[in-house]
Amino acid sequence: MLLATSNEVDAQTVRSVMAPSAAVSSGNMGNGTLASRVESFEREVILSELKRAGFHMTNAAKALGLERSHLYKKAEQLGIDIRKQRREEES
């Protein structure tokens, strides 16, 4: 089943849902509290989407259903250094 925020589903949406990082299984849930697991999952999803979008913040935010400013705030809360990640991807 695929949940979408609109009546149209494009190939990009399907790819993001079918990506290995989108799968949640008991094998990759790790240990720790619910809060730490949620934080880890959010970090993984955001990093994955940023990489997929070529670190284009507007596109990544749109794909995640966030406002761009909220994506910046969430990345900061999760300790994601966007500039550093972008540089690492480019090299």
CATH code for the domain of 47:
1.10.10
Specify the higher pLDDT residue, 74 or 14.
74
Whether 6 is covered by a domain: the verdict is no
Whether 75 is covered by a domain: the verdict is yes
Whether 3 is covered by a domain: the verdict is no
Matching residue, tokens 């969430």: 74
Q: How many whole angstroms separate alpha carbon 52 and alpha carbon 33?
A: 29
Q: How many domains does the chain have?
A: 1
CA distances from 70 to 44, 46, 58, 73, 86 (A): 16, 12, 11, 5, 18
Instruction: Determine the structural domain holding residue 56 and report its residue range.
Output: 11-20+32-90
Whether 41 is covered by a domain: the verdict is yes
- Tens-digit pLDDT profile for residues 9-60: 776 666 666 655 444 544 556 789 999 999 999 999 999 999 999 999 999 9
- Report pTM: 0.66
- Tens-digit pLDDT profile for residues 2-14: 555 566 777 666 6
